[in-house]
């Protein structure tokens, strides 16, 4: 039965492929689009970096109670490599992670050098985070960023390093002749300014040059393989990864991770023949199940009778490879065709929130105070609302879908071909003591300097995306004696540091705190990547809207008129790249000391320092000159401290197996599209096996009378894997799998599977699976 089914599937696939290519050739000949000869080698790759789905604090909100307890959908590293056939090459990696990590970057480059020699180095590899606040933390090397995760988490670190390396290796091995196209356009409804009072402190003449107080432009690259056609797209757009709130405990790529999945699934469903369509159908989120799955049962009674013959199966041991083999995407993908990779990269998102309805007081429902984002003087009552309020999953879907729709539009219409050389410049700078030459308004110049890192009082107030606690508030340029005393117990800033950081009142003097090792970075990378007329500015932090505009304009001024670009340069900012050093505001925004200004570590002249150093890189780029490499950043891996307790062992109640169903679907049950199916299993801690490129949860659909086919897994937006234990010290745990049945789900008989791994008292890892009773999905 199964072999016959697969044979028919392959025949249909082959026939469909021939038809699609016939349509494709016809469209090429009649579309009016001119495809010139390819001038690059292009390769794309993607790999799972999901990390531990239990016990680990999430990175972003610094909320000690936000501890991972399941998976909303999986995280990935996505890479593109562009190479001249006999010249330079660059690799850009987009991470479904809060930010890049200096230590991760160091170790990835070490591995690449060991594998490829000098082909990939810190100079031509960029690693950028999308800024989701729903990924496991503990993978950065500086103390201040790993306090809430109880120090360094090796599992978080290792899976990211491994995933980046494997995605780059994939892209390298996929290098083939191809072309790149660029397009850009406005996306108006996916971000608002969460610190408008700070933005308004910028000069009125400067603000008048822009229509909006956040950047609304998305820039997209479309990669086209000479043989296979389109194989991927990367775009840059500024909006925070905070659609999921500070109380969410499910691992999630937030809105940008969702958009990437939607677009990859859209392409898999639509195929090559649909890429010229400028209109997306109303059912915005593409289906995951292939169209080859037939609906063979029309009689509801027949379906119920069939479902009743499949009761829940007791948990049983399985090989580790079982969870990988049953994944949906791997089951449906053609082995000889490059995987379509779509990445939604972060830009200058510092003051841009996806919670576009505005910020309101949770006690009164009234708008928060404009200048301080407080409610009755309390910051913890002021929250931003997403478009799906009060459902954060719906807000994530909507903001992700809007980015996805705009990307599809730009992708479908992209016709300007990228041409020109591949090049790059990279340097390390010590931003704790950098001298910056500044022009005076009335002529001449003066020299200022940056400061050792320090956090202001408003940092502890948080933002409207995730408020802080106690009596902190945004816009505080004074501080208070009590918290100054508390901060001083760790390190009391000297007068020079206080004067340098002015008007920031220093809460934590992190740049001068060295025990047990460095609390904050001082040596940071600056990097420019050129791909033809596209220039990527890799910045190690979160630039605000106006700070990003000033940096882009400064670099454009250097590039404009050069024979390299001929006044035709696309300049994008890749935020949170290679390292993380918090925020960068304009001088005027810094004076206001909202959250972003208080989190601008190196003082009021931080932005000017970046502009100075990036102009140097841009000048070297167009004049074909080298740059000084600068001081090397520290490798602190050997000094890391981890206080996260290990998994000691897992257990179940007497007479219960791992994988047994604890709470099943009702007998002879039927669910409608849009309904929720919930099943609970006895399980073990997800830290025992991260199921990398595998799955904890699976929905299967029945084919014929005895063949189960994978339909949805924990990489799907509609399926949630929730893990819980009765108490922190309990060795027992349960997995609740929730499937919100999509409106496009094929009617039929379904069941839910769970995969896991238990740990014995002696340290042995044993994999298991279990399944629910079958049920019917009907229209």
Asked whether residue 426 is marked as a ligand-binding residue, the answer is no
CB 696 within 8 A of CB 756: yes
Q: How far apart are the first and last CA of the chain?
A: 27
- Beta sheet of 661-663, edge-to-edge order: 135-136, 54-59, 67-71, 719-724, 733-740, 676-683, 661-663
CB 600 within 8 A of CB 606: yes
Asked whether residue 542 is marked as a ligand-binding residue, the answer is yes
> Does 353 qualify as catalytic in the annotation?
yes
d(CA 545, CA 542): 9
The CA distances from residue 772 to 255, 311, 747, in Å, are 31, 7, 18
Asked whether residue 754 is marked as a ligand-binding residue, the answer is no
Asked whether residue 40 is marked as a ligand-binding residue, the answer is no
Name the CA dihedral angle for 478, 480, 484, 487, rounded to a multiple of 10 degrees. -100
**CA proximity to 687, closest of 245, 322, 162, 154:** 154
The CA distances from residue 46 to 81, 341, 454, 577, in Å, are 12, 7, 37, 18
CB 216 within 8 A of CB 96: no
Bridge partners of residue 129, in order along the sequence: 95
Any idea what DSSP says for residue 742?
-
* Given 312, 353, 599, 773, the catalytic residue: 353
CA dihedral (23, 24, 26, 30) positive or negative: positive
- Under 8 Å CB-to-CB from 269, ≥6 apart: which residues? 286, 287, 291
Q: Could you tell me whether strands 135-136 and 54-59 are parallel, antiparallel, or unpaired per DSSP bridges?
A: antiparallel
CB 102 within 8 A of CB 139: no
Structure tokens at 391: 């459902």
Binding-site entries: 131, 240, 542, 583
**Which residues are part of the catalytic machinery?**
353
Residue numbers in the known binding site for Zn(2+) are 131, 240, 542, 583
């Amino acid at each position: 039965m199964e072999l016959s089914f697969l044979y028919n599937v392959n025949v249909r696939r082959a026939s469909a492929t021939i038809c699609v290519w016939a349509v494709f050739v016809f469209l090429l000949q009649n579309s009016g689009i001119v495809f010139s000869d390819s001038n690059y080698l292009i390769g794309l790759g993607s790999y799972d970096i999901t990390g531990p789905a239990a016990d680990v604090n999430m990175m972003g909100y610094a909320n000690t109670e936000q501890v991972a307890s399941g998976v909303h959908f999986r995280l990935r590293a996505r890479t593109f490599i562009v190479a001249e056939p006999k010249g330079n090459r660059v690799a850009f990696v987009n991470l479904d992670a809060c930010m890049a990590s200096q230590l991760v970057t160091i170790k990835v480059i070490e591995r690449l050098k060991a594998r490829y020699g000098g082909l990939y180095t810190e100079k031509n590899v960029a690693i950028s985070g999308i800024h989701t606040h729903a990924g496991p933390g503990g993978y950065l090397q500086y103390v201040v960023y790993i306090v809430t995760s109880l120090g360094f988490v090796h599992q978080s670190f290792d899976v990211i390093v491994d995933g980046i390396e494997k995605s780059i290796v994939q892209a390298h091995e996929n290098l083939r002749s191809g072309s790149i196209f660029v397009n850009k356009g406005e996306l108006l409804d996916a971000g608002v300014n969460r610190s408008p009072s700070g933005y308004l402190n910028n000069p009125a003449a400067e603000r008048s040059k822009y229509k909006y107080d956040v950047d609304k432009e998305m820039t997209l690259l479309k990669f086209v393989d000479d043989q296979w056609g389109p194989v991927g797209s990367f775009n840059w757009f500024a909006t925070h990864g905070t659609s999921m709130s500070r109380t969410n405990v499910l691992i999630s790529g937030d809105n940008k991770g969702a958009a990437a999945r939607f677009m990859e699934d859209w392409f898999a469903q639509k195929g090559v023949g649909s890429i010229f369509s400028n209109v997306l159908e109303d059912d915005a989120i593409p289906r995951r199940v292939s169209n080859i799955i037939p609906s063979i049962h029309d009689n509801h009674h027949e379906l119920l009778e069939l479902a009743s013959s499949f009761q829940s199966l007791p948990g049983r041991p399985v090989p580790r490879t079982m969870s990988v083999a049953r994944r949906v995407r791997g089951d449906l993908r053609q082995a000889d065709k490059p995987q379509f990779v779509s990445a939604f990269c972060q830009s200058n998102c510092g003051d841009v929130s996806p919670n576009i309805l505005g910020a309101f007081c949770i006690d009164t429902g009234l708008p928060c105070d404009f200048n301080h984002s407080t409610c009755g003087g309390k910051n913890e009552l002021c929250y931003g609302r997403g478009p799906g309020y009060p459902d954060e999953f719906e807000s994530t879907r909507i903001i992700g879908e809007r980015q996805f729709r705009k990307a599809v539009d730009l992708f479908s219409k992209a016709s300007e071909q990228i041409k020109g050389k591949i090049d790059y410049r990279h340097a390390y700078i010590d931003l704790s003591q950098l001298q910056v030459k500044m022009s005076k308004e009335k002529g001449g110049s003066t020299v200022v300097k940056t400061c050792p890192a320090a956090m202001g009082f408003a940092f502890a107030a948080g933002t409207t995306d995730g408020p802080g606690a106690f009596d902190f508030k945004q816009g505080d340029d004074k501080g208070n004696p009590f918290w100054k005393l508390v901060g001083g117990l760790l390190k009391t800033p000297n007068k020079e540091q206080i004067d340098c950081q002015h008007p920031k009142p220093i809460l934590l003097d992190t740049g001068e705190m060295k025990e047990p090792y460095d609390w904050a970075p001082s040596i940071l990378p600056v990097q420019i990547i050129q791909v033809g007329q596209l220039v990527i500015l890799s910045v190690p932090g979160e630039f605000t809207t106006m700070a990003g505009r000033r940096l882009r304009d400064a670099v454009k001024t250097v590039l404009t008129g050069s024979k390299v670009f001929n006044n035709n340069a696309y300049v994008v900012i890749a935020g949170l790249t290679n390292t993380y050093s918090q925020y960068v505001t304009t001088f005027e925004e810094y004076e206001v000391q909202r959250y972003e200004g208080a989190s601008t570590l190196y003082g009021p002249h931080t932005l000017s320092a970046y502009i100075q150093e990036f102009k140097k890189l841009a000048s070297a780029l167009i004049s074909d000159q080298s740059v000084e490499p600068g001081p090397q950043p520290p490798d602190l891996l050997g000094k890391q401290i981890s206080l996260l307790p290990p998994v000691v062992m897992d257990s179940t109640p007497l007479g219960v197996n791992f994988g047994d169903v604890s709470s099943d679907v009702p007998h002879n049950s039927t669910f409608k599209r849009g309904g929720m199916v919930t099943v609970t299993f006895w399980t073990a801690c997800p830290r025992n096996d991260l199921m990398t490129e595998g799955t904890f949860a699976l929905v299967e659909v029945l084919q014929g009378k005895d063949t189960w086919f994978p339909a949805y897994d924990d990489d799907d937006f509609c399926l949630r894997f929730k893990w819980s234990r009765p108490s922190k010290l309990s060795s027992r745990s349960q997995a609740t799998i929730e499937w919100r049945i999509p409106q496009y789900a094929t009617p039929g008989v379904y069941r839910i599977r769970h995969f896991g791994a238990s740990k014995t008292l002696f340290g042995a890892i044993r994999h298991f699976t279990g399944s629910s009773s079958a049920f019917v999905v009907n229209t």
